[in-house]
């Protein structure tokens, strides 16, 4: 008998037929004698629809009220799944994030889990009731409902697996594993058997939406193996594991595309210690998530700093930059609203040179201009015009032999 945490994403519980299919799958596990905690997301596009409704009434809703609203999506699916299981003769009970003891900080819409008190669910698991848990939500110490950030049900599942010291954590989704890139964007993408935490974490941060990046962080910290697999078939998926357990050695493991980015260039500001600190501190205080940063020296004693931000934070970014420039009484600003970033990720890069050159060559051959570059030990990211993003993704994916043909060694 094992204690298994399973998570089913939005598409997997998209309608009542899908919920019934998920209930049948859970029933099969239950009949093997396992203890099961099952985390579910809101049905289909429910969360998007709720966001849209909120915005129809208020362009800038209060974060507390938005969390109150968004958390209702998961409450619908946990209750329906518990009912479906009950109908199949499997004892099940549903819990909201608060009821299951997920305590977070108060940062609405991107709250951090501080603690999970499992004492409420343990007895139910022990008497072999299937515990159905609402993903993506928790409560702060004043019992305000919080949410963990879009896609956060993955994090609920992994954090719960860690707190319960579960034997397995399975993430069921609408693809049958982690691929070399998004298979819905590049049809030649290949499924991997395994991927290292460090690589998955970078891919998730850089745009691979298949797992929430913080879920990978928590998995790595607590040594939880995540098995990403399809809720539509029984195929083995991809295991996210410690580096030494990945058998296939490659230089580049995967490639991602992030769209909906914007680039801001702060031009001709004085070349003086403290200016970059002042600008980026202001941005941090305004909660702007800055991604790539490039500084270049321009005319005498002047610099240009360019950086990328998520496009939906462009308005507040502009306000911050304008205030900064007004204070300096120097410089100007240029904005490119439509930027995409393409990243190649792999632990193998630590010991191989020439990866950047191959990537730049491939882009050049296809007449794709590189607007910005940033690198770290295990990744290379380039920014390009958004309309060239898809093409750039395909080209880079191909350049590293990641497609249907065997990957390079
Ligand atoms: P869920 O609702 O189950 O959480 P998501 O939509 O969040 O599902 O994540 C699954 C999606 O992630 C897939 O449909 C796929 O388009 C996308 N995806 C992006 N990058 C990858 C990748 N490298 N491998 C697999 N899927 C990916
Ligand atoms: N329902 C939430 C979202 O759409 C959380 C999740 O699906 O993981 O972002
Ligand atoms: Mg998801």
Reported for 321-324, long-range contacts at CB under 8 A and 24+ positions apart, including other chains, are 321/264, 321/266, 321/279, 323/282, 324/266, 324/278, 324/279, 324/282
Q: Are 252 and 355 in contact (CB under 8 A)?
A: yes
Mean pLDDT over 64-84 rounds to 98
- Within a domain: 301: yes
| Ligand minimally distant from the alpha carbon of residue 45 | 2
Whether residues 236 and 262 share a domain: the answer is no
The model's pLDDT over 319-371, given as tens digits with 9 standing for 90+, comes to 999 999 999 898 999 999 999 999 999 999 999 989 999 999 999 999 999 99
The residue whose CB lies within 8 Å of the most ligand 2 atoms, and thus the one to mutate among 14, 76, 152, 173, is 152
- Within a domain: 391: yes
CB count within 10 Å of CB 94 equals 23
| Ligand minimally distant from the alpha carbon of residue 183 | 1
Whether residues 234 and 300 share a domain: the answer is no
Mean pLDDT for all residues in the chain = 95
215 lines ligand 1 (CB under 6 A): no
Mean pLDDT over 267-274 rounds to 91
Give the side-chain half-sphere CA count within 13 A for 151.
Answer: 14
E-strand ranges in 244-385 read: 254-270, 293-297, 302-310, 332-345, 372-376, 379-385
Whether residues 348 and 312 share a domain: the answer is yes
CATH classification at residue 341? 3.30.2130.10
Whether residues 59 and 188 share a domain: the answer is yes
Whether residues 255 and 223 share a domain: the answer is no
The residue whose CB lies within 8 Å of the most ligand 1 atoms, and thus the one to mutate among 18, 210, 226, is 210
The residue whose CB lies within 8 Å of the most ligand 1 atoms, and thus the one to mutate among 11, 40, 136, 175, is 175
- Within a domain: 90: yes
Give distance in angstroms: CA of 287 to centre of ligand 3: 23
Give distance in angstroms: CA of 184 to centre of ligand 1: 8
331 lines ligand 1 (CB under 6 A): no
230, 245, 260 - which closes a domain: 245
pLDDT at residue 39, rounded to an integer: 98
Whether residues 145 and 264 share a domain: the answer is no
Whether residues 144 and 215 share a domain: the answer is yes
| Ligand minimally distant from the alpha carbon of residue 151 | 2
- Count of structural domains, the chain: 2
- Within a domain: 407: no
- Within a domain: 193: yes
Range of the domain at 346: 249-402
Whether residues 212 and 255 share a domain: the answer is no
Cα–Cα distance measured from residue 157 to residue 175, given in angstroms and rounded to the nearest whole number: 18
403 lines ligand 1 (CB under 6 A): no
Q: What is the pTM of this model?
A: 0.94
Question: Counting Cβ atoms within 10 Å, is residue 367 exposed (0-12), middle (13-18) or buried (19+)?
Answer: exposed
Ligand 1 atom closest to residue 203's alpha carbon, by position in its atom list = 23
8-state DSSP, 391: H
Q: Are 213 and 205 in contact (CB under 8 A)?
A: yes
Whether residues 373 and 390 share a domain: the answer is yes
Q: Strand 226-230 to strand 238-241: parallel, antiparallel, or no bridges (unpaired)? A: antiparallel
369 lines ligand 1 (CB under 6 A): no
Whether residues 229 and 261 share a domain: the answer is no
- Within a domain: 409: no
The model's pLDDT over 10-55, given as tens digits with 9 standing for 90+, comes to 999 999 999 999 999 999 999 999 999 999 999 999 999 999 999 9
Residue with tokens 């594991």: 241
245, 279, 304 - which closes a domain: 245
193, 211, 245 - which closes a domain: 245
Q: Are 380 and 291 in contact (CB under 8 A)?
A: no
Whether residues 124 and 239 share a domain: the answer is yes
406, pLDDT greater than 70: no
409, pLDDT greater than 60: no
Q: 94 pairs with which residues across the strands?
A: 132
The model's pLDDT over 227-242, given as tens digits with 9 standing for 90+, comes to 999 999 999 999 999 9
- Within a domain: 139: yes
CATH classification at residue 94? 3.40.1160.10
Give distance in angstroms: CA of 332 to centre of ligand 3: 39
Cα–Cα distance measured from residue 230 to residue 235, given in angstroms and rounded to the nearest whole number: 7
Q: Strand 92-95 to strand 226-230: parallel, antiparallel, or no bridges (unpaired)? A: unpaired
> If you take atom 27 of ligand 1, which residue's CA is the nearest one?
182
The model's pLDDT over 81-91, given as tens digits with 9 standing for 90+, comes to 999 999 999 99
* Residues having CB within 6 Å of any atom of ligand 2: 9-10, 41-42, 47, 73, 135-136, 150-153
8-state DSSP, 369: P
Whether residues 320 and 267 share a domain: the answer is yes
pLDDT at residue 297, rounded to an integer: 82
Spatial neighbors of 119 by CB under 8 A, at least 6 apart, are: 101
Band of pLDDT at residue 405, cut at 50, 70 and 90 = low
- Within a domain: 408: no
For residue 219, give both structure tokens. 């998995």
């Amino acid at each position: 008998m094992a204690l298994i945490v399973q998570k089913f994403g939005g598409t997997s519980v998209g309608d009542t037929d899908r919920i019934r299919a998920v209930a049948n799958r859970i029933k099969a596990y239950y009949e093997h004698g396992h203890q099961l905690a099952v985390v579910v997301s809101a049905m289909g596009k429910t969360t998007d629809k709720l966001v849209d409704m909120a915005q129809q009434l208020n362009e800038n809703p209060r974060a507390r009220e938005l969390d109150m609203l968004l958390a209702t999506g998961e409450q619908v699916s946990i209750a329906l799944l518990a009912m479906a299981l009950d109908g199949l003769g499997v004892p099940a009970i549903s819990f909201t994030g608060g009821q299951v003891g997920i305590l977070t900080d108060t940062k609405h819409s991107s709250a951090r889990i501080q603690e999970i008190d499992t004492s409420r669910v343990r007895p139910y698991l022990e008497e072999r009731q299937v515990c159905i848990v609402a993903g993506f939500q928790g409560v702060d110490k004043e019992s305000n409902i919080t949410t963990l950030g879009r896609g956060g049900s993955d994090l609920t599942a992994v954090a719960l697996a860690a707190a319960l010291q579960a034997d397995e954590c399975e993430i069921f989704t609408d693809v049958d594993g982690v691929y070399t890139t998004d298979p819905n964007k590049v049809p030649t993408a290949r499924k991997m058997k395994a991927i290292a935490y460090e690589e998955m974490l970078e891919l998730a941060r850089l745009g691979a939406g298949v797992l929430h990046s913080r879920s990978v962080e928590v998995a790595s910290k607590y040594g939880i193996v995540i098995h990403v697999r399809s809720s539509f078939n029984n195929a083995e998926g991809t295991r996210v594991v410690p580096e030494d357990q990945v058998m296939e050695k490659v230089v580049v493991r995967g490639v991602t595309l992030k769209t909906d980015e914007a680039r801001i260039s702060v031009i001709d500001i004085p070349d003086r210690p403290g200016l970059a600190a002042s600008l980026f501190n202001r941005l941090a205080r305004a909660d702007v998530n800055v991604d790539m940063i490039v500084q270049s020296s321009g005319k005498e004693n002047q610099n240009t700093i360019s950086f990328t931000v998520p496009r939906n934070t462009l308005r507040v970014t502009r306000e911050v930059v304008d205030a900064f420039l007004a204070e300096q009484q120097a410089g100007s600003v240029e904005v490119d609203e439509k930027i995409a970033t393409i990243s190649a990720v792999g632990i193998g890069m630590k010991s191989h040179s020439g990866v950047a050159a191959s990537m730049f060559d491939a882009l050049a051959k296809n007449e794709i201009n590189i607007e910005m570059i940033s690198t770290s030990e295990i990744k290379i990211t380039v920014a390009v015009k958004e309309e060239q993003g898809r093409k750039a993704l395909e080209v880079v994916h191909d350049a590293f032999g990641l497609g249907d043909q065997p990957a390079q060694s």
